[in-house]
């Protein structure tokens, strides 16, 4: 196996492992959010003392959940999209469908890299200015963790999409099966 093949396979395995880990962290954030919302409901109803930062925590958590779980969604080919056309032509023209999937993954890698590059300066600004969201005196949280998660998630998605583009060229047996074909 050549050095390029080993490198791409290693990057793919590394990216997949990070995606799985980020997904697990996102799941823990969901569980934490459930606990906070339940606490708020009970505290509001029973003690007439709601958790004052509940709305801010929910807003903050939703962004974290989406971007922590996005790379794993990309990894397992469950990203929301309409690939009905690819399924239809895939039975009669599998090479054309494969080419179009390759093209979609390439464009997706480019778009995710642009998101990562665009959000990086926002993260740096939020880190330096200590900017926060929320209501002062009630509940505040810094913006930088959200910006960092978005940036790292987009970068990881870029890596995963790039590996999807490169792996079939290196090892054709690793070409992925479209979502609709694995359930038949």
Q: What is the mean pLDDT of each run of 10 residues along the chain (184 residues)?
A: 88 97 98 96 94 91 96 90 82 90 94 98 96 89 95 98 85 48 45
- Asked if the structure places residue 72 within a domain, the reply is yes
Q: What is the DSSP string of 48-91?
A: S---TTHHHHHHHHHHHHHHHHHHHHHHTT------HHHHHHHH
Classify residue 143: in a domain, yes or no: yes
Structurally, how many domains does the chain consist of?
Answer: 1
Residue 20 is assigned to a structural domain of this protein: yes
What pLDDT does residue 37 have? Answer: 95
Q: Are 105 and 164 in contact (CB under 8 A)?
A: yes
pLDDT of residue 154: 98
Domain-embedded: residue 169: yes
9 domain residue, yes or no: yes
In 3D, which of 86, 55, 64 has the Cα closest to residue 179? 86
Compute the CA torsion angle 71, 19, 117, 60 (nearest 10 deg). 80
Residue 77 forms part of a structural domain:
yes
Q: Is residue 183 part of a domain?
A: no
Q: Does a structural domain hold residue 33?
A: yes
Among 8, 9, 3, 11, smallest CA distance to 156 is for 11
- Domain extent, residue 69, equals 3-174
């Amino acid at each position: 196996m050549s050095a390029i093949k080993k490198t791409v396979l290693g990057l793919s395995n590394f990216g997949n492992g990070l995606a799985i880990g980020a997904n697990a962290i996102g799941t823990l954030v969901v569980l934490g959010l459930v606990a906070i919302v339940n606490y708020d409901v009970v505290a509001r109803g029973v003690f007439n003392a709601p958790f004052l930062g509940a709305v801010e925590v929910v807003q903050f958590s939703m962004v974290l959940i989406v971007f922590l779980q996005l790379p794993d969604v990309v990894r397992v080919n469950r990203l929301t999209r309409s690939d009905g056309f690819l399924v239809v032509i895939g039975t009669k023209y599998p090479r054309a469908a494969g080419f179009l999937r390759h093209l979609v993954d390439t464009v997706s890698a480019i778009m995710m890299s642009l998101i990562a590059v665009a959000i990086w300066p926002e993260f740096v600004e939020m880190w330096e200015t200590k900017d926060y969201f929320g209501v002062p005196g009630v509940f505040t949280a810094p913006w930088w963790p959200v910006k960092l998660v978005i940036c790292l998630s987009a970068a990881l998605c870029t890596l995963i999409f790039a590996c999807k583009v490169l792996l079939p060229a290196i090892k054709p047996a690793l070409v992925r099966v479209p979502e609709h074909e694995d359930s038949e």
